[in-house]
Structure 1
Amino acid sequence: MNQETGTDPKVDAMLQGATSWRDEFALLRSIALGCGLTEELKWGQPCYAHEGKNIVLIHGFKEYCALLFFKGALLADPKGILVMQTENVQSARQARFTSLAQITRQRKALTACILDAIEVERAGLKVALRETSEFPTPEEFQVRLAQLPALRTAFDALTPGRQRAYLLHFAGAKQSKTRASRVENCMPLILDGLGLNDR
């Protein structure tokens, strides 16, 4: 960490190597640091925290770059700049941008959201997450759970987050054949006590 600037050399290197959104990333970084956040490279992306609690993350996609607010669902967002990445995201929200000019125009709104996010952390607020039982269990998985008691026991022993990841993965397939295939492919992982992304 550069004590003078508050920047992380790993983020410097990541930004220098960026092939797209470099200027946009630099401006988003400046806004985050201007709010007194500390910088660190996490999950390969610039992440900004307050007193060790993650506040925002900068990331880029093909069509846009974004500032992701970890607890965006709790923010006031009076300018309506935050969006849900997908319908299954419960806590995080993104501010999406397709140009440097767009970030410049929304700088005040972004700063207000960051300061609000810091207050959310200071207050210890948490997003009320849906229970795993509220997620649909595809029929193809229900059949296998009924046929194999060991699979039911292993699935029930997984953390709620791992259970939700499997349910979303199975349900994400449109055709029954694909759902059944996903279930079959994941059964060894579940029986080994592993999550979808633990391979």
Structure 2
Amino acid sequence: MDNNVSEFISKQEKWSHELQLLREMVLSCGLEETFKWRAPCYTIKGKNVVILGAFKDFCCLSFFKGVLLKDSEGILKQQGENTQSGRIVPFTDTAEIHRLKPVIKAYVFEAIEVEKSGQKVEFNTPDELELPDELEVAFQQDAEFQNAFQSLTPGRQKGYMLFFSGAKQSATRTSRIEKYRSRIFDGKGLHDCVCGHSKKMPSCDGSHKYL
């Protein structure tokens, strides 16, 4: 078990018992535990399978490639109308988790097989660029951020995805996403002017350097 995950769960005022149950459940499926994107993440041979989330109204088990699961029990939810790959199972009490334990484990095993098979999600993105895992997680954690990103022009979306994906380390990709979050909410592209003084609007001409 990862100590960062233990600390994360112990600090949860509302969902600590539910998250601990989900943690034990996914670990019993043979997944490896790590701490990514400020959340407990579970992998198979380094590939992301599921991640735990804690929100105001619910906690959840989120499947990175949930859209590829059969969902025979109809429990998977799309978090935000623009979410393409991830699907969540939300919970509000421990009884609900206990009741669905066999189903949840079956879904986790199916997700493991999906990852082992190398199946890919067909993302609807500019020029069919693959969405970075870190950006998909950011979307799962903040539907408003996803809507803001999807509202950008295809060219602006492409610019950000190339920039985010260009970083070799996951931590750097996450840092870039967080750094440009406010710019995306403002509807600005990677190289758009944000100071309002550019003479080549909407592009930045470096005028901000002389303010």
Taking structure 1 as the reference length, the TM-score comes to 0.69
User: SS of the residue aligned with 1:80?
Assistant: coil
| 2:45 pairs with 1:44 | no
What do residues 129-148 of structure 1 show as CA deviations (whole Å, max 9, x unaligned)? 113279xxxxx977xxxxxx
CA 1:25–1:141 in 2, change beyond 3 Å: closer, same or farther? closer
* Residue ranges of structure 2 left out of the alignment (5+ in a row): 129-150, 165-176, 195-201, 205-211
Question: For residues 117-136 of structure 1, what are the structure 2 equivalents within 5 Å?
Answer: 117-132=111-126
1-side partners of 2:152 and 2:75: how far apart? 38
CA 1:141–1:124 in 2, change beyond 3 Å: closer, same or farther? closer
RMSD: 3.3
Greater CA radius of gyration, 1 or 2? 1
* AA of the residue aligned to 1:122: K
The equivalent of 2:2 in structure 1 is 8
Report the number of matched residues. Answer: 158
User: SS of the residue aligned with 2:82?
Assistant: coil
CA contact (8 A) 2:159 2:189 kept: no
User: SS of the residue aligned with 1:48?
Assistant: strand
Could you tell me how far 1:57 is from its partner in structure 2?
Answer: 0.5
* AA of the residue aligned to 1:117: A
CA 1:141–1:95 in 2, change beyond 3 Å: closer, same or farther? closer
What do residues 98-128 of structure 1 show as CA deviations (whole Å, max 9, x unaligned)? 1110111111111011000000011000011
* Residue ranges of structure 1 left out of the alignment (5+ in a row): 1-6, 135-139, 143-151, 173-180, 193-199
Could you tell me how far 1:73 is from its partner in structure 2?
Answer: 0.2
Give percent identity, aligned residues only. 36
CA contact (8 A) 1:132 1:160 kept: no
2-side partners of 1:141 and 1:30: how far apart? 40
The equivalent of 2:193 in structure 1 is 188
Taking structure 2 as the reference length, the TM-score comes to 0.65
1-side partners of 2:80 and 2:10: how far apart? 30
